[in-house]
């Protein structure tokens, strides 16, 4: 079903409380301009979170830093509310010298940790606002070759602070074989550079179905992504979201065509709570410990 998001069907009873109060999730998108970040966000929520606009011509008075733009939207499904915030980072990798492109992004992530820490230290902790980034989708240029130094540098600098989820942008520009080979190469590069990308934990009490589902989702990383806000008619008169080529339509919501469905499933159904927990229990906790010990506390 096209407009279907999926969070209302959380399988686990543990989430009953969230079902009542509503889910809240913050996701960041990072990658060079033109890789389809805004399009993916629109595709993910099947709405125009970002209005269509022509990309601005680069001019000399363009800001010479990465911008941080945050957009929040409420999605409701079967009476369950999800407040989704997407943090976009236009400008990343766009400058003559991109050596420090990662820095404003790291600063932003850490300042969100600081804001949380500050609330924890208050006497009244009943109204905690969690603006921490729970997942960071990192868009890799579909070169079919290897990670670029910019990619490696970003991931190396950020992996201890955020759940990194690498995605291959515009996967429709690669053949199926190229995608398979590129994924292997990316994972090898990630391993070679000791980069920690997000890994779902396995629990003893997980049933076989959950384990199989997790394994299936994880096996797709880095997700090969195709985004589109256009619909086309395919065989049988069905209308599908996709991108049209002379030989046919690449379908966004068809798992045989790309990994978009799996990525969405992971983010807003199977792993949303996991990503939040890991952010709180490991990433934030490590940051907090480092910060307090640096202060001599
Ligand atoms: P951003 O700068 O990363 O936010 O990229 P945009 O979402 O603005 O997309 C830049 C251009 O790439 C637009 O013309 C999109 O239509 C196109 N685009 C977005 N996603 C895809 C995709 O998955 N495949 C292809 N081939 N083009 C895409
Ligand atoms: Mg954009």
Mutate to test the pocket of ligand 1, among 28, 31, 33, 36 (most ligand atoms within 8 A of CB): 36
Rounded Cα distance, 14 and 124, in Å: 26
The CA angle 165-133-3, to the nearest 5 degrees, is 70
- Atom index in ligand 1 nearest the CA of residue 139 equals 3
pLDDT value, residue 3: 46
Distance 132 CA to ligand 2 centre (A): 21
Rounded Cα distance, 291 and 251, in Å: 46
pLDDT value, residue 18: 61
Q: Whose CA is nearest to atom 18 of ligand 1?
A: 36
Mutate to test the pocket of ligand 1, among 54, 173, 227, 259 (most ligand atoms within 8 A of CB): 227
| Shortest-distance ligand to the CA of residue 42 | 1
The per-residue pLDDT string of the chain (297 residues; one tens digit each, 9 = 90 and over) reads 344 555 665 555 445 666 666 788 999 999 999 999 999 988 887 755 555 444 444 444 455 568 888 888 887 766 778 888 999 998 898 877 777 889 999 999 999 999 999 999 888 777 788 999 999 999 999 999 999 999 999 999 999 999 999 999 999 999 999 999 999 999 999 999 999 999 987 777 788 888 888 889 999 999 999 999 899 998 888 999 999 999 899 999 999 999 999 998 898 888 998 999 999 999 999 999 999 898 887
pLDDT value, residue 126: 76
pLDDT value, residue 47: 59
pLDDT value, residue 59: 41
- Atom index in ligand 1 nearest the CA of residue 41 equals 7
Distance 218 CA to ligand 1 centre (A): 25
Distance 226 CA to ligand 2 centre (A): 15
Q: Whose CA is nearest to atom 10 of ligand 1?
A: 34
- Residue carrying the six token digits 């179905």: 209
Rounded Cα distance, 224 and 232, in Å: 21
**pTM score, whole prediction:** 0.89
């Amino acid at each position: 079903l096209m407009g279907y998001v999926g969070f209302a069907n959380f399988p686990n009873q543990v989430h009953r409380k969230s079902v009542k109060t509503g889910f809240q999730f913050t996701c960041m998108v990072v990658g060079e301009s033109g890789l389809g970040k805004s399009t993916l966000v629109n595709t993910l929520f099947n709405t125009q979170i970002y209005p269509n606009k022509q990309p601005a011509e680069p001019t000399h008075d363009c800001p010479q830093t990465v911008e941080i733009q945050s957009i929040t939207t409420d999605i409701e499904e079967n009476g369950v509310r999800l407040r989704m915030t997407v943090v976009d980072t236009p400008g990343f990798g766009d400058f003559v010298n991109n050596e420090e492109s990662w820095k404003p992004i790291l600063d932003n992530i850490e300042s969100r940790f600081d804001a949380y820490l500050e609330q924890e230290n208050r006497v009244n902790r009943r109204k905690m606002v969690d603006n921490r980034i729970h997942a960071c989708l990192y868009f890799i240029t579909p070169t079919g070759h290897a990670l670029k130094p910019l990619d490696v540098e970003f991931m190396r600098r950020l992996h201890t602070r955020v759940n990194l989820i690498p995605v291959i942008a515009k996967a429709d520009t690669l053949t199926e074989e190229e995608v398979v080979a590129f994924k292997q190469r990316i994972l090898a590069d990630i391993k070679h550079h000791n980069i920690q990308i997000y890994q779902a934990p396995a629990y003893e009490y997980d049933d076989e179905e959950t384990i199989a589902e997790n394994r299936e989702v994880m096996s797709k990383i880095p997700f090969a992504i195709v985004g589109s806000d256009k619909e086309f008619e395919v065989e049988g008169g069905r209308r599908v979201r996709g991108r049209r080529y002379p030989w046919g339509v690449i379908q966004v919501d068809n798992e045989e065509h790309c990994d978009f469905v799996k990525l969405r499933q992971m983010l807003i159904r199977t792993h949303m709570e996991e990503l939040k927990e890991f952010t709180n229990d490991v990433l934030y906790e490590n940051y907090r410990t480092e910060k307090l010990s640096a202060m001599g506390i």
